Amino acid sequence: MPRALVTGITGQDGQYLAELLHQKGYEVFGLVKGQNNPRTVLLQEEFPFVEVVGGDLADLSSLVAALESTQPDEVYNLGAISFVALSFRQPELTANVTGLGVLRMLEAIRMVGGADNNPIRFYQASSSEMFGKVRMTPQNEETPFYPRSPYGVAKVFGHDITVNYRDSYGLFACSGILFNHEGPRRGLEFVTRKITNAVARIKLGLQQELALGSLEPQRDWGFAGDYVQAMWLMLQHDEPQDFVVATGQTHSVREFVELAFRAAGIDDWARYVRQDERFMRPAEVDLLVGDAGKARRLLGWAPTMAFPELVETMVSHDIELEQRKERNRRR
């Protein structure tokens, strides 16, 4: 039975990846931080097959201990301060966890190593935010980085140190440069889920308006369930390499809003949306669109869910969720 250690197991991607690895017959270990992390209980209820291991990307010795106790074949480093807006408010924490955390995990892997004939394979969750103020469109593995936030800068460090450890020590280390990916498990702080949840609540008469920052930025939004497949495929490839994972289509926040309201049967969406300075960023990433040709050619990866279906899935999930919460509240 192959063994995988996943950091960020309580996050969106951690949950999809845990399911995928379990289906593939892996023993799944999830690194959880904190002394009484409330998300552990939810994790254990929904994914009882995950074995929880304590540890923190800010603490090297805890990573060494996690590797020693779990002896994984594969490590997926998904843990991060992952919200761009938070990274502007807590840049040092972001650099420490999202950036240096990668170095700590690579050092821990170098120390613990894995069996001689079966070295640990490492996946780093890199991000299209590294492209920032884009130098080329669409963006691929050769596009130079120009990050626009402390999060993007920390991810560039994580990416470069992953490549450096592969070159320097021959580690089987891959960096997946994933474009935005969403789904019903996305955190409510991210714009897609914030929109679909607000649309559901407006539809049910539980909320009057939706306050947003800029509606103009464009993103290449895919479905998270498809993207964790690409992570796994990278670690099964003969050679460790870096891959862009994207749909190749881009849409504005405005288009997402329109489609989400329409999916709930509301056409006059503009009357519910208010622009709010608080959600603007000191520096914006205006346009992201990825070219995943390399992943398609070498890994046989392709996205399965198109943009309209993604929006509709998230809206109908949130309508059901909010209805259920209302029913429970009234009981």
Residue 58 or 85 having the CB closest to ligand GDP: 85
Residue 56 or 322 having the CB closest to ligand NDP: 56
Q: Are 67 and 47 in contact (CB under 8 A)?
A: no
Which of ligand GDP, ligand NDP, none is residue 10 near (CB under 5 to 8 Å by kind)?
ligand NDP
Candidate list 29, 33, 197, 257; residue touching ligand NDP; CB under 6 A: 33
Assigned token pair, 190: 């991210």
Whole-angstrom Cα distance, residue 8 to residue 5?
10
Residue 96 or 214 having the CB closest to ligand GDP: 214
Residues touching ligand NDP, count (CB under 6 A): 26
- Torsion of Cα atoms, 76 then 86 then 192 then 122, to 10°: -10
194 in contact with ligand NDP (CB under 6 A):
no
Residue 151 falls in the annotated catalytic set: yes
Residue 50 or 199 having the CB closest to ligand GDP: 199
Cα–Cα nearest to 123, from 77, 192, 61: 77
Whole-angstrom Cα distance, residue 14 to residue 8?
6
Instruction: Please tell me which residue in 127, 128, 149, 175 is annotated as part of the active site.
Output: 127
Whole-angstrom Cα distance, residue 138 to residue 249?
10
Residue 214 falls in the annotated catalytic set: no
Assigned token pair, 8: 């960020």
Cβ neighbours of 44 (radius 10 Å): 15
* CB of 208 vs ligand GDP, minimal distance in Å: 16
Which of ligand NDP, ligand GDP, none is residue 8 near (CB under 5 to 8 Å by kind)?
ligand NDP
281 in contact with ligand GDP (CB under 6 A):
yes
Q: Which parts of 3-62 interact with ligand GDP (CB under 6 A)?
A: none
Q: How many residues does the chain have?
A: 331
Peptide bond into 138 cis (omega under 30): yes
Burial class (CB in 10 A: 0-12, 13-18, 19+), 278: exposed
SS3 category, 53: strand
Q: For the chain, first and last CA: distance in Å?
A: 45
Cα–Cα nearest to 279, from 180, 207, 154, 195: 195
* CB of 318 vs ligand GDP, minimal distance in Å: 15
Q: Are 243 and 141 in contact (CB under 8 A)?
A: yes
Q: Which parts of 115-174 interact with ligand NDP (CB under 6 A)?
A: 125, 127
Whole-angstrom Cα distance, residue 266 to residue 223?
24
253 in contact with ligand GDP (CB under 6 A):
yes
Which residues is 243 bridged to in the sheet?
Answer: 176
- For ligand GDP, which stretch binds (CB under 6 A), given 35-43, 90-98, 156-164, 212-220? 212-220
- For ligand NDP, which stretch binds (CB under 6 A), given 53-61, 114-122, 203-211, 231-239? 53-61
* Positive or negative: CA dihedral 18, 179, 37, 42: negative
Residue 26 falls in the annotated catalytic set: no
Residues 74-113: x where in contact with ligand NDP by CB under 6 A, - otherwise, as a string = ----xxxxx--------------x----------------
207 in contact with ligand GDP (CB under 6 A):
no
284 in contact with ligand GDP (CB under 6 A):
yes
Which of ligand GDP, ligand NDP, none is residue 132 near (CB under 5 to 8 Å by kind)?
none
* CB of 239 vs ligand GDP, minimal distance in Å: 29
Q: Are 254 and 218 in contact (CB under 8 A)?
A: no
Catalytic residues: 127, 129, 151
Residues contributing to the site for ligand NDP (CB under 6 A): 7-8, 10-14, 31, 33, 37, 39, 56-58, 78-82, 97, 125, 127, 178, 180-181, 187
